[in-house]
Chain A
Amino acid sequence: MNKRMLTQNAAFGMFWLAGIVAVLIMAFVVGYIFVKGFPGISLDFFTTSPRGGLSGDGGIYSTVVTTFYMIVVTLTFATPLGVGAAIYLTEYSANTENKVVRKLVTVARFGVETLAGVPSIVFGLFGYALFVSALNFGFSILSASLAGACLIIPVIIRTTEEALKSVPSGYREGSLALGANRWETTWKVVLPAAFRGISTGILLSAGRIVSETAIFFVTLGGSYRVPHSLMSGGRTMALHVYYLAMETRAFDKAMSTAAVLVGLIIVMNLTINMITSKIAAK
């Protein structure tokens, strides 16, 4: 075997090892959480709410409800804005000669890139200052989902832009040549063609809402009761894990909640994979 071959094999060997180690670490973390968490999971665990206090007694019912509310309300705010902005950026602004608009678009793009990299606690602080205090929404699902929307809008914009860009320009030309205007073309041809890509982005964002803690820590309050309206506070499952681990003795319950959380994330990612592999197959 010559030297170049040897170098190549050594390099591949290293990469292989790195890959195995990474996978093992992941498997260990998930496995550990599942092994520790599963014993505490029962039907009761899902149907009763936490009882509060140092003991950490009770289940996770109210946190599941809050998580669900948070996903729905946040996406309700963020999806139209994010998808709308992406449509404007890819379908409209690219076709203008107007210097001011072009400048604004460049700034907007830069803003989106930057915001996507800002730590979530910063959005939390912003949400606290604006929604919780200044607008007087208090610690509530409303405040938290508005702050959450700020967090995920850049994600939705970026994924939607990618999805729109992957729609062949022939579709647009075909539609425009039949007398459709830009809006009709976007609505009837481009959006349906980009639907899977856009839904992937929205699901990714939903995953973000499920897994974030810092931002909701300062906007959602942390009440363990079942929320009754947009103005109720609450805690998501992820937040509940934090409270259980830091403020109660029920570390096992934290593990069980974490196991449910990881299970949920896995299901969401499988859904995303299913959607994207269908795109690839098309």
Chain B
Amino acid sequence: METEVTRMQAEDYSLFYGQFKALNKINIKIPANRVTAFIGPSGCGKSTFLRSFNRMNDLIPSVTTTGTVYLDGKDVGKQDVVELRRKVGMVFQRPNPFPKSIFDNVAYGPRLHGTKNKSDLAVLVEKSLRRSALWDEVKDDLQKSGMSLSGGQQQRLCIARAIAVNPEVILMDEPASALDPVATLKIEELMNELKNKYTIAIVTHNMQQAGRVSDYTAFMLTDENRSGNLIEFGATKQIFTTPSDSRTEDYISGRFG
């Protein structure tokens, strides 16, 4: 852990929905080019925390925060949110391709950020679809609606869409929970590929999945005030075999949650 480059970091980060404290003083360093998994029982704030990295919580008017989240050592709160979200992409639980063609789905981000040239876009779209392991399945008809793909393909399309703007970090909130086992496996393999280029943070309820795909694991839990706390963070192997907190062990071995 000491030798890792930190890509994102939270420092004494707390988040409130109105009066309700959903995250309590979270400190964590997310290493670059690794897959970090967030696990913990429902309602412990995993999604909330993930959405703090690309400031999606800004969209909820009642949210206030204290502490700081950093990307590459810079306070994300002080960055241009458009540029931040280009650098920190997000893949959602439900595949959410736009009701547009496959091409236009992938080209959406680049167009937004100023790529207008047709051949540049075509190159970018192909590259992104190849990276998300979808190219071979869709290359014959990129004009087909993104909605016409299967769930697993849609999710890979969403990954391609995120990749197309050349992000540094990809946040994935239970990206496979709406998919069948085969599609899930594809996404997991893909994550393994992607971490060479990107830093990945994933929320999952599936312990096996966390074990399979992640290099580091963060375990979160609510305290007596229902606020989410980071209980333990470390190499996935260590968390799964010799957790230092008994609550982590209980959760992983399925004793609660």
Which A residues form the contact surface with B (CB < 8 A)? Answer: 95-97, 168, 170-171, 173-181, 184, 188-189, 192-193, 282
Residues of A within 8 A of B86 (CB): 178-179
- Assuming the contacts A179-B86, A192-B99, asked whether A174 and B61 have C-beta atoms less than 8 A apart, the reply is no
Residues of B within 8 A of A189 (CB): 98
Indicate which residue in B61, B96, B99, B165 contacts A97 across the interface (CB closer than 8 Å).
B61
Does B90 interact with chain A (Cβ within 8 Å)?
yes
Residues of B within 8 A of A97 (CB): 61-62
Which residues of B169-210 have CB atoms within 8 Å of chain A's CB atoms?
none
Cα of A183 to Cα of B187 in the assembled complex, Å: 32
- Assuming the contacts A170-B92, A181-B82, asked whether A176 and B98 have C-beta atoms less than 8 A apart, the reply is no
Does B77 interact with chain A (Cβ within 8 Å)?
no
A-B pairs with the 5 shortest C-beta distances?
A170-B96, A179-B85, A177-B90, A97-B61, A178-B109
Cα of A222 to Cα of B178 in the assembled complex, Å: 62
Does B7 interact with chain A (Cβ within 8 Å)?
no
Contact check, A95 vs B162: say whether CB atoms are below 8 A apart. Answer: no
- Which residue of A is nearest B85, CB measured? A179
- Which residue of B is nearest A96, CB measured? B61
Does B74 interact with chain A (Cβ within 8 Å)?
no
- Binary flags per residue of B101-121, CB closer than 8 Å to A gives 1, else 0: 000000011001100000000
Main secondary structure of the interface of A (DSSP, over half): helix
Contact check, A178 vs B85: say whether CB atoms are below 8 A apart. Answer: yes
Contact check, B161 vs A174: say whether CB atoms are below 8 A apart. Answer: yes
Contact check, A173 vs B96: say whether CB atoms are below 8 A apart. Answer: yes
Smallest beta-carbon distance A211→chain B, Å = 33
Contact check, A170 vs B94: say whether CB atoms are below 8 A apart. Answer: yes
Contact check, B96 vs A176: say whether CB atoms are below 8 A apart. Answer: no
Which residues of B58-114 have CB atoms within 8 Å of chain A's CB atoms?
59, 61-62, 81-86, 89-90, 92, 94, 96-100, 108-109, 112-113
Indicate which residue in B54, B84, B96 contacts A168 across the interface (CB closer than 8 Å).
B96
**With A174-B98, A177-B56, A181-B82 given, can you name 7 additional A-B contacts, CB distance below 8 Å?**
A97-B61, A170-B96, A171-B96, A173-B96, A177-B162, A178-B89, A193-B99
Contact check, A178 vs B92: say whether CB atoms are below 8 A apart. Answer: no
